[in-house]
A and B are shown apart, each in its own frame.
Chain A
Amino acid sequence: LPFDLYLNVAVGGVLTGLVYGLMALGLSVIFGVVRVVNFAHGEMMTIAMYIAVALFSLFRLDPLLMLVPISALLFAAGYALQAGVINRFITRPEHSQFLLMVAIATIIVNVLLILFGPDSQNVQVAYAFDSFQLGPLIVDATKLYAGMGAIVVTAALFAFFQYTPLGTAIRACADNYTGALVVGLDVKRLYALTFGLGAACVGAAGCMLLLIFDVTPTVGPSYTLLAFVIVITGGLGSMPGALVGGVLIGLTEAMAGLLFTPSAKSMFAFAILVLVLLFRPQGILGKRAA
C-alpha cells in the first residue's frame, strides 16, 4: 500500500474523530457535572440526525446550516428531560439511573423506527463528492467541513465554561456540590442547563456526522458505546481528553478499516479501551482519582 493512501485515510480518520470527540464531549460534560450516566446519548444523536434528514428531504436544507436550530432544539429537549425526570434521580443509585436512561433510549429508538422506518438514510448534499487536494493529500469536503465544525463548536463550549459566569457556576457545581449549594447556586437549574448543553453538543455532532455516515434507528446504542469508549480513553471529566480520545478512536477505526476489514473496526476501539484501562485507568488526560 502506498504511503499516500495511509496518509489520506489517517486524515479522514482524524477529521471523523473530531466529530466523535464533540459527541463524547457532550457525554463528558453531563457526567462530569450531573454525575448521571447518559445511556441514551447515541440515541439522542440519532434524533438530531433524523431531524436533519427530514429537513433536507423536505426543504433541501443543508445539515451544516441547520446545526444551530437543531442544537437549540436538542438543548430544549435535554433541559426538559433533566428538569422533568432526571433531577429526581440524581440521588438514586447508579443502576436505577441506568435503567431510567435505558427506558428512555428504548422509547427513542422505537419512536424513530415508527416515524422513519428501519432503512438507512442519508443526505446527498451538492458537495458530497467534492474533495480538496493538497500535494499528495486528498481530503473529502464533507469530512473537512465536519471536522472544522466540530472544532468551532468545541472551542465555543470551552470558552463558555472558561469565561462566562454561567459556565463558571456550572464548573462550581461539578467541583463541589455542597459548596455550590452553600453559595446559593440553583443547582437543579444548572444541572438542567448542563444536560441541555450536552444534548446540544451531540445534536451538533449528529448534523456533522450525517455528512459522513448513514443513519438507522438502531445505530443509537453503538454510538452511545462509542462515546463511552472515547470518554474513558480520553479521561472521564476531562474536556480536552474527550477530543483527544475522539481523534485517537477515529484514527484507529480508519486504520483498522484499511488494514483489516471495516466490519472489525469497532473491535480495535474496544481493544484500545482495554489497553487504557490496563495501563492508564484514569484515561490519557484524566487526573488520577484519589
Chain B
Amino acid sequence: MIARVFDGLSRRAVVLLTILLLLMAIAPLFVGDYLLTVLILILYFAYTGQAWNIMMGFAGQLSLGHALYVGLGAYTAAALYVHFGIGPWLGLLVAVPVAAAAGAFIGYLAFRFRVGGVYFAILTIAVAEFARVGFDHLAWTNASSGLFLPVAQYARNDLWQLRGHPAMFYYVLLVAAVLAFIACRALLHSRLGYFWLAIREDEEAARSLGIDTFHYKMVAVVISAGMTSFAGVIYAFYYNNLFPEQVFHISRSIEIILGPIVGGIGTLFGPILGAFVLTGLAETLTGALSGLGIDIPGVKQIFYGVCLLAVIIALPEGVWPWLSRRLGIAGDKP
C-alpha cells in the first residue's frame, strides 16, 4: 500500500514531499497563534481545492458553487450538534450524504441534458445562492441571525467532539489534506480517473468509445461534494458560528477555486501550492499594509486582484507546472 502511494515518483519528488510533510507536522510547535490560524486556512484551502479539482481538473466540469457543499456540511453538523447533541464525527454521517445528494441533484439537472461549460457553472452558482437565501429564512438554523456553537475550551482537547485548541484543528486538517492528496492520486490512476480525463479532453470522443459520460460525471460531482462537506463540518466547529450570508456567499466559492487554478488545474500538487501562494500573499499583504500604516478597506483586495491578473497572464497553466520544471521533477507521473 505504502509502496503504491509512491509509485511513479522520482526519488527527488519523494524526498521533497517528505520534507514538506515533516515541516508541516512540526510547524505548530514553532509558530505563534496568528501563524497557526494562517496555516489552518492554508490547509482548509488545500483540502477544498483538492476536492474541487476532482470535478474541474479531472472530469472537466466547472463548478462555481462549492460553497454550497461547505455550507451544507457545516450547517448539518452544527444543527445536529446544537439541537440533538450529536457530535461532529457522527454528524458527518449525515452531512456528507446531504451534500452528496445536493451534488447529485445539480449533476442530474445538468448532465441529463448535457448542460455543460458556462451553463453548468451558472447552475452551480444559482443553487448555492438559492441555499444562501433559503438558509437566511430557515428558522431551524436561526435564519440570518446565525447559528452558534458553544465556545470551545482551549485548555482541553476533545477530539471526539472537536472542541479544543486550534492546533487540534490544524492536525485534523493536515491529516485530511494528506488523505485527500493520496485519494486523488489513487483516483487519477484508476480506471475511473482515466475515464474522467477522457471526458475532460473530449466528451464526444469519450462517448463514442463507450464511456457512460453521464454516469462518470455524476460520480465526480458526488465525490467532490461529499469531500467538500467534510471541510464544512470542520469549518463549523472551528469558527463556532455560521451565517448564511458568509458561508454560502459566492466569494467563498471563488476562494475555493482560486487555489487550484493559480496552482495548476488538474495537477495533484496545484491545489496545495495554490493555497500556500494565495493565502501567503493575502496575509503578507495584510501585514505589509498595516506595517505601512495604511488602513483603507479595499486596498488589499485591489492588490490581490492585480497579483491574480499577473499570475494568469504570465502563467496560464498555473504555478505548479512551472515550479515542477524548476525543481526538476516535471517528468514524474503526477
User: What residues of A have a CB within 8 angstroms of the CB of B162 in the complex?
Assistant: none
Mark out the residues of chain B between 246 and 272 whose CB falls within 8 Å of any chain A CB in the assembled complex.
250-251, 254, 257-258, 261, 265
Contact with B along A57-101 (1 / 0, CB 8 A): 000000000000000000000000000010010001011101110
**C-alpha gap A229/B133 in the complex (Å):** 15
Q: State whether B122 touches A228 (Cβ < 8 A).
A: yes
Question: Distance (Å) between the CB of B83 and the closest chain A CB?
Answer: 23
- Whether B297 pairs with A266 at a CB distance below 8 angstroms is no
| Interface residues in B264-312 (C-beta closer than 8 Å to A) | 265, 296-299, 301-302, 304-306, 308-309, 312
Tell me what chain B mostly uses at the interface: helix, strand, loop, or mixed: helix
Residue of B nearest to A271 (CB): B130
Task: Please indicate the chain B residues that have their CB under 8 angstroms from the CB of A271 in the complex.
Answer: 130
- Pick from B62, B296, B301, B309: contact of A94, CB under 8 Å: B62
Q: Is the CB of A273 within 8 A of B123?
A: yes
Question: Is A55 located at the chain interface by the 8 A CB criterion?
Answer: no
Chain A, residues 40-66, CB within 8 Å of chain B (1/0): the string is 000000000000000000000000000
Binds A, one of B6-14, B31-39, B108-116, B220-228: B108-116
A281 contacts B298, CB within 8 Å? no
Residues of B within 8 A of A248 (CB): none
- Are B123 and A99 in touch, CB under 8 angstroms? no
B328 lies within 8 A of chain A by Cβ:
no
Interface residues on B, range: 35 or more
**Measured between C-beta atoms, what is the minimum distance from B232 to chain A in Å?**
21
Interface positions of B (Cβ within 8 A of A)? 56, 62, 64, 109-110, 113, 115, 117-119, 121-123, 125-127, 129-130, 133-134, 136-137, 250-251, 254, 257-258, 261, 265, 296-299, 301-302, 304-306, 308-309, 312-313, 316
Residues in A lying within 8 Å of B, measured CB to CB: 31, 37, 85, 88, 92, 94-96, 98-100, 102-104, 106-107, 109-111, 113-114, 118, 221, 225, 228-229, 232, 236, 261, 263-264, 266-267, 270-271, 273-274, 277-278, 281
Would you mind naming 25 contact pairs between A and B with Cβ atoms under 8 Å apart? A31-B118, A37-B121, A94-B118, A95-B261, A96-B312, A98-B121, A103-B312, A107-B301, A107-B302, A110-B298, A118-B297, A225-B129, A228-B125, A229-B126, A232-B122, A263-B133, A267-B130, A270-B127, A273-B122, A274-B123, A277-B109, A277-B119, A277-B123, A278-B109, A281-B119
